[in-house]
Structure 1
């Protein structure tokens, strides 16, 4: 970490908002005007809409993440966590990956911690559940699913086999529906290479507490998505929830009980709980309360945006929706990050700030290879697409929204190669503990047991 007497703009979080806000600030800032410091536990940003495709092997995991130091060469990038913020002294406490925590003074603050998985105190969930918020979880899910096929193919125990081939997904929003669609595609393709496993042997279950899936694309397309997944053999249980999953024994509210080795949890998100230690004004659900300018209420040097912020949706309010807030999606995050960067520069220079307003442009979702739904909003007209064309819209939109041309090109190259090459179905389950085999080879061998000395024979007299 370098020291500087220039004003410091501290960006807490290197996710979608943190990355784009820092890029915007660096672009708008005059030379030597301020120092931009980004603090995040990871040295990369993850483009979360691509996690289902990474789990299915459609995109290389390395291409779904963007290295912060490479994209922000003019910024300080610190790998660690901001644990507390002292607003009176304008000092943040940073806990690095190793070593003692230290204090970092700042003049302007951007809060972009994002969200974490919203969970409930369900028995067994912490031990059995697999989330889908990071690239590590997507890679782990892919390896885990293929490992279950390996188990089922090699065992003669019907109970073990049934448990291995049962896959339960909780949450029917974008993340849940897209993940079950992609993983079902992966398992279907992989089964072709197993002599004792067929798609008919597998059981896919999607559970949601709401009465529909894919609410973001509207009821008609949501119903189409439901019928499409059911046509592929996915069991969908709506208006129900999971009561417990101890040792993989899943109990649903509707009375259904199954044994499953794979329980994927995508039932929504909540603001990062670290926000409660920052002394910021929070909304009823834990979001940072911001004005329409993205400035935190009651401050003139703190801004927030994205999934951890409660931002007034001015476009919806103008349309007559009272107390509307911007939904937590990539569409708003990208635009809010740019508006935040502009407003921070304006605030730093003493100029007036602009209010953030954005009308919903629609939503797209992929449900596996060549399958998807899309709703495009053009003025007062809504264009609804489904099937292959919607899938192209999904890939086109998110491909162009991927940060940096380096990553855009790599993602499109992955997709192009997939048109000509078969899907990879290699399980790298050993990646979870890569040193295990070396440890077994290198650990000291146990000392051989020393035989007791034979008793001496009596000497002949």
Structure 2
């Protein structure tokens, strides 16, 4: 290995990490080939998850393999290290790297990119850590799908009314994109699946959306938010506004409006916070605990450090006094500017400012249903659903993944979606253990 090579270390393999790596791989191909530059990405996973497609994966419209992009395949010129960065020592230009297995080590770098993304922001609610599941990873999406369908099986196989009611009550906390899309897609799937159960009817299913504020889907604006609210309520979904989850110990849900009931499925999507790696280092943070970032995507006040995406507080040039929202639209565009600025930095050229006026938002609400507000054009129903799919298909990285996603969607036009639970894959050794115990 050439130790004189300029080492670019990217912390995080999500949107920013992957897209920055792709662009640097192209822009610096000569330097990479000659050994003048080397690039490393550190991430616990060996793939990038395209999160806007998680609801469709959970509902069975897309194969879970097709919503992830394998980093090693699309970044052949980049070293991928699976593990976590636990501390950044920018003064000495090293990080503490803990691999998924084995002892920790110090990695040196010349330029660092903070792209570690975000994690679920939880609250100290009794029972939340034990009873709830998040909705940020492909593992959580598929576990949730398996859980919902397994609970249909459970309810259909018992006469006990309490067991049935608990199994068929589904609670989602948080009415942003993740919460509304996850709930809408799962309810749509449940409507299809319930037809195959002798003792279950659509009316037996209870779907509850809990939101602390007075509006849902703020990203699509008040008008489309109200339309979405009416659409969900027409489908029999209970939407509880200005309501907090007070506790959920053992699945016993208590809400701030005084209602209490049993539920075997509680999904927490009420916000995100910057990855904890930002708290364990010497990079400056802003008032929200994100890496303090300039409009050129450099870390404020230090040299040779860049940041973008959910982990970074990037000032919004098009909206003075505000920060760029933590979403895929900004992350993908920031990655392009960030990669170009790293190349400019290495070549001693002036850096460019990140400038993007938020174009609007699209959301899927189940098969053939959606809501959109893009450049002031407001749509709902089938046209919005089509726009949602078209937009996100254009944003999925690599042609390989685009083709696989389209193939899944095309098959879904001709065949009904699979409604079988494979929950056993989450604990595959249970049966073998039981057999060994009796042997």
Q: TM-score over 0.5 for the alignment?
A: yes
Report the equivalent of 1:452. none
The one of 261, 269, 278 equivalent to 1:266 is: 269
Give the whole-Å Cα distance in 2 for the aligned partners of 1:338 and 1:138.
28
Report the equivalent of 1:395. 389
Give the whole-Å Cα distance in 1 for the aligned partners of 2:379 and 2:88.
47
Q: Give how far 1:103 is off.
A: 1.0
Report the equivalent of 2:424. 430
Give the whole-Å Cα distance in 1 for the aligned partners of 2:346 and 2:143.
43
The one of 362, 365, 382 equivalent to 2:363 is: 365
2:308 matched to 1:281? Answer: no
SS of 1:295's partner is coil
2:162 matched to 1:159? Answer: yes
Report the equivalent of 2:26. 27
Q: Provide structure 1 residue ranges, at least 5 long, that are not aligned to the other structure.
A: 318-322, 446-461
Give the whole-Å Cα distance in 2 for the aligned partners of 1:348 and 1:7.
9
Give deviations 1:271-322, integer Å, cap 9, x for gaps.
11221102111111111111100000011200000001000100112xxxxx
Q: 1:13-24, aligned counterparts within 5 Å?
A: 13-24=12-23
2:434 matched to 1:440? Answer: yes
Give deviations 1:67-92, integer Å, cap 9, x for gaps.
10001000100011111122222111
Whether the 8 Å CA contact 1:170–1:264 is kept in 2: the answer is: yes
Give the direction of change, closer, same or farther, for the CA distance of 1:275–1:156 in structure 2 (3 Å limit). same
Q: 1:33-432, aligned counterparts within 5 Å?
A: 33-317=36-320, 323-377=321-375, 382-432=376-426
Give the whole-Å Cα distance in 1 for the aligned partners of 2:95 and 2:275.
17
Give the whole-Å Cα distance in 2 for the aligned partners of 1:3 and 1:392.
50
Give deviations 1:359-402, integer Å, cap 9, x for gaps.
1111100000000011110xxxx110000000000000001101
Report the equivalent of 1:459. none
TM-score normalised to the size of structure 2? 0.98
How many residue pairs get matched? 435
Report the equivalent of 2:11. 12
Give the direction of change, closer, same or farther, for the CA distance of 1:87–1:420 in structure 2 (3 Å limit). same
SS of 1:74's partner is coil
Give deviations 1:110-160, integer Å, cap 9, x for gaps.
000000111100000000111000000000000000011001000111101
For the pair shown, the structure with the greater C-alpha radius of gyration is 1
Whether the 8 Å CA contact 2:91–2:282 is kept in 1: the answer is: no
Whether the 8 Å CA contact 1:6–1:34 is kept in 2: the answer is: yes
Whether the 8 Å CA contact 1:4–1:35 is kept in 2: the answer is: no
Whether the 8 Å CA contact 2:88–2:283 is kept in 1: the answer is: no
Q: Give how far 1:436 is off.
A: 1.4
TM-score normalised to the size of structure 1? 0.93
Q: Give how far 1:443 is off.
A: 4.1
- C-alpha RMSD over aligned residues: 1.0
